[in-house]
Structures are given as structure tokens and as C-alpha cells.
Amino acid sequence: MSLIIKNGTIFTASDSFKADISIENEKITRIATHIEPNPGDEIIDATGLEIYPGGIDAHTHLDMPFMGTVTIDDFESGSRAAACGGTTTIIDFVIPEKGKSLHDALEIWMKKAQGKTAIDYSFHMALVEYNDRVANEIPEIIERGITSFKCFMAYKPSLYVDDYQLLEIFRLAKIYGALMSVHAENGDILVFTTKYLLEEGKKGPEWHDVAHPDIAEAESAHRAIILADYVGVPIYFVHTSSRLTLREIQKAKRKEKFVFCETCPQYLVLTNELYRRGGWEASKWVMSPPLRDKKSNDKLWAGIRDGFIDTVGTDHCSFNFVGQKELGRDVFTKIPNGIPAIEERVKILYSEGVMKGRISRNKFVEVVATNPAKIFGLYPQKGTIAIGSDADIVIFDPNKNGVISAKTHHMKVDYSAFEGLNIQGAPVYTISRGKVVAKDYKFVGDYAHGRFIPRKRFNLKEWGR
């Protein structure tokens, strides 16, 4: 028995065409102008609808211990919300403690996800220190299909690595074929700025973005580009928030340095005015890097359009407004950093990007699905609509409107960072390996469906290097 999607318009990163799609055994088996169903085939009539590759969110933090608490969305609620929002694969971060084994941390994250995830998943590994044990474990971790690492240039002292450690880690990534990503914020600038804010009694959440100036992000991006280039390794910037950082990345890309750039929906549609409103409400948007100004929003959209920004992930890292964000009631440095976005990424990119004429439908596909798949070793199994690819598909109704709200979202977290944002166009079917997991914004999947997907190594030759 096949699942046949009829009469829709298919969009990939490079093409758009009207065709039917046939799905068997979790894969796309035929794409043709007309596919005649056999008795017993299941049919989705996609007349007037748009068919896209399922979204790939390469930046999530589910069930993650952080800043004295644990993110409220786990693999069940996070994957349910992702599915309802049009995402069919997530790449979550394993974050080991300093002094602990990478293998042990990976096992912990495997257990968190196994049997509890409605869509496919993979992992990045955070490297929070460099020593002989880490150096020995890196090749084995890559062997297990964890082919990308993240280092933090901020969060002193818990996650921070210094430049020497970065260089050693970059060297191993190059030797064994892993992609390096960095959290670019100069940790010392943050410590220095925070110290003087607190001395002046500036302790409320409205000071968080002042403590994380855009120059701290831009400086460390600049430095990471130079260090990575010196070692000869590509580098991926997660959660780029500021036009100053983008400018560093643009300069590097123009010089043909091997740099990838991710931004997130929050940096495209929200601004630091949300901190200026004052009051405890501002804690909802305490994340690192923080929200920036409207000028940065506009430059980031232009960066997507012009190909300087390669991907849009979420950095979904959700903490309840009541009970969890309150850990920092006395001082903003204790507010758990992060916002919920896993459910909203694809919708926001479609509504604010495609529907408002900022980006084409092909560019939308590129940044939400195809580029993350290519960069992180999932392509062409995922990230496109092609014969032989996994049948990971999201079907959009461009005429369906909605409003983002915590009252209707599928995440566990008790607030929405995008409350009240009008959405034009909505996913009406999300299909993961041939199984409908969300329909008409209702979750219809099951948590045993999602599989761990080991990823290919980062191969410089595939990128013409």
C-alpha cells in the first residue's frame, strides 16, 4: 500500500512544479505528473496546497540541564510541537559536564530521546574542555554518527573554552571530518560588563542585553573565523543575532573563507524593545545572544536573501515563565537563558519571509531544510523531495491564517515568545518517513516513531575544497 499526494505544487531549493508523489516503505518512490492510485492506497488531495521538504531544525535543547534547572520541553513535547509546526528532523545538543566522558553524555541523551520522539533526531556534541580524554573520544564519537561539535566562547566558567582549546579542537575536527560550530560571544566582555552593571544595582532582566553587547558577539566571530582559517577548518556560527556579526561573516565569505551562518526566527522578528518595556516580563526573552534592534532584523533578512545566512534554526531552549525564569528574580544573571521556538520556526519563515515578499519559496526551503541537511550530513536522505529520499514532507495551505499563542501551542512551556504574531499560511500535514504525524495542527503521531539518524562526516571535497 502506498501513500499518494495528489495535485499539489512541489517546492525544492531549486525548483517548483506540479506533480503527484508516491510513498512506499518510508521513502519517496515516484514523482510524476499523474500517479494512478491502486486499490487500498491512501490519498492526500493537495489541490491548492504547497508541498515542501520537512523542516530540519539543527539547533534544539530538549530535556537539557542548564543554569540550575532543566528545559521544560523534553523530547516528547518538543518533537510533538516540532511536528505540528512542520519540522520532521531535529539535531539536539549533547552537553557533557566538564570532567565527564563524551560517551557517557551521549548515552544519557540517547536515553532521553529513544522511544520518546515523534520525528527523527540526531545530536551535536558540545565540547566544553580540551584534554587527552576528549581528544581520544572525539574520533569515536564521530564514528557513531555525531559529526558536528559546538564550543562556547562565553558562559564562563562552566561551558567556556579558551582560544588554545579551540585551536586543538579545530585541529581534530579537521583530521577526523567533523564540522565545528561556535557560540560566538566574548566571555570576558560579558563578565566585565556584567560586573559594573551589578555594582550600579542594575539587576533586572532589562539589563540582560546591555550585558551582552553586539561587539562581544562580533569580536568573537571575527576571532573564530581567523582561528578556524589558520587551522584550515570550516566553521558554523550558531544563533547569529547581530548585523555586526553578520558583517564579519560577510567579509569572510567574500574572501572565500569556509564559513556557515545560522540565525533564528527570534532575531528576525523580535527586537530589544521587549527588554525596554521594563518589568519582570522581559525575562521571557532572556537568551544569549540577546535580541537586537530592528536594523539587525532587516540586515539578517537581507543576509538570508543574499545567501550570507545559510540556515535558520531555533535554539529552542524553553523555561517556564512561572517557576523557572523566576530563578533569576534577584539578579538577571541567574535567569535561565533561552526561549521556546521549535513549533514556530517554519511558520514564521513562511509567513514573515515568503508571504511578506522577503524571500522566495525556494530560499525558504533552502534555509529551513536543504542547507541544514547538506551542512550536517543528512542530504539527500533528508532535506529535499526526490526519489529515494525519506518521505519527510510538510504540506502548507497558503490561505490558512492563524495567531501564535501559548493557548494553542503544543509545547509544554507556559508562554509563547511570539504571542500574538499573525501567521499567514500554515502546515496542514506533516509527514515523517511516510507517516502523517500532524494534521490540521493536531498531533496524530506517536513517540516511538522517531529514529536516531547517524550523520555523514563533513567532507571538504563535497564542497569543492
* Under 8 Å between Cβ of 86 and 346: yes
Q: How far apart are CA 410 and CA 343, in angstroms?
A: 8
CA dist 337 and 284 (Å) reads 9
Sorted by sequence, the CB contacts under 8 Å of residue 53 that are 6+ apart come out as 12, 365, 369, 370, 373, 382, 383, 384, 385, 389, 392, 393, 394
**Residue 206 neighbours by CB distance under 10 Å:** 21
Binding ligand URP (rule: CB under 6 A), the pick from 10, 61, 75, 227 is 61
| Position 315 contacts Zn ion (CB under 5 A) | yes
317 binds ligand URP (CB under 6 A): yes
Question: Cβ of residue 338: shortest distance to ligand URP, in angstroms?
Answer: 4
CB 183 to ligand URP: min, Å? 5
CB 431 within 8 A of CB 391: yes
Residue of closest CB approach to ligand URP:
337
Q: Which of residues 202-241 bind ligand URP (CB under 6 A)?
A: 239
| C-beta closer to Zn ion: residue 289 or 425 | 289
Sign of CA dihedral 355, 356, 361, 367: negative
Q: Rounded to the nearest whole angstrom, what is the least distance from the CB of residue 181 to Zn ion in the complex? A: 9
- Note whether 287 binds ligand URP by CB under 6 A: yes
Count the residues in the chain: 465
Which residue, 142 or 291, is less far from ligand URP as judged by CB? 291
80 near ligand URP, rule: CB under 6 A: no
Would you count residue 194 as binding ligand URP (CB under 6 A)? no
Residue 337 interacting partner from Zn ion, ligand URP, none (CB closer than 5 to 8 Å by kind): ligand URP
Min separation Cβ 185 and ligand URP, Å: 9
Q: Which is nearer to ligand URP, 187 or 425 (CB)?
A: 187
Site for Zn ion in 163-192 (CB under 5 A): 183
CA distance 340 to 177: 32
Q: Rounded CA gap, 148 and 46, in Å?
A: 37
- Give the one entry of Zn ion, ligand URP, none that residue 287 binds, where binding means its C-beta sits below a cut-off of 5 to 8 angstroms depending on kind: ligand URP
Is 299 a residue that touches ligand URP (CB under 6 A)?
no
Judged by CB, which is closer to Zn ion: 217, or 315? 315
User: By rule CB under 6 A, what string of x and - marks binding of each residue 320-349 to ligand URP?
Assistant: -----------------xx-----------
Q: Which is nearer to Zn ion, 12 or 288 (CB)?
A: 288
Q: Which is nearer to ligand URP, 155 or 443 (CB)?
A: 155
Burial class from Cβ neighbours inside 10 Å (0-12, 13-18, 19+) for residue 30 reads middle
Task: Measure the CA–CA gap between 289 and 212, rounded to whole angstroms.
Answer: 7
177 Cβ partners below 8 Å, 6+ apart?
142, 147, 457, 458, 459
DSSP-assigned beta bridge partners for residue 9: 18, 50
- List the x/- string, 241-280, binding to ligand URP by CB under 6 A: ----------------------------------------
Output the smallest distance, CB 395 to ligand URP, in A. Answer: 31
Q: How far is the CB of 238 from Zn ion (least distance, A)?
A: 5
# of chain residues touching ligand URP (CB under 6 A): 9
Q: Residues near 201 by Cβ (< 8 Å), separated by ≥ 6?
A: none
- Smallest separation (angstroms) from Zn ion to the CB of 289: 8
Nearest CB to ligand URP, comparing residues 338 and 377? 338
Q: Which of Zn ion, ligand URP, none binds 253 (CB below 5-8 Å, type-dependent)? A: none
The per-residue b/e assignment along 272-283, b for 16 or more CB within 10 angstroms, e otherwise, is bebbeeeeeebb
Q: Which residue, 2 or 337, is less far from ligand URP as judged by CB? A: 337
Characterize the bridge pairing of strands 435-439 and 393-403: unpaired
User: Which CB, 62 or 349, lies closer to Zn ion?
Assistant: 62
Residue 338 vs 383, nearer CB to ligand URP: 338
Enumerate binding residues for ligand URP (CB under 6 A): 61, 183, 239, 287-288, 315, 317, 337-338
Enumerate binding residues for Zn ion (CB under 5 A): 183, 315
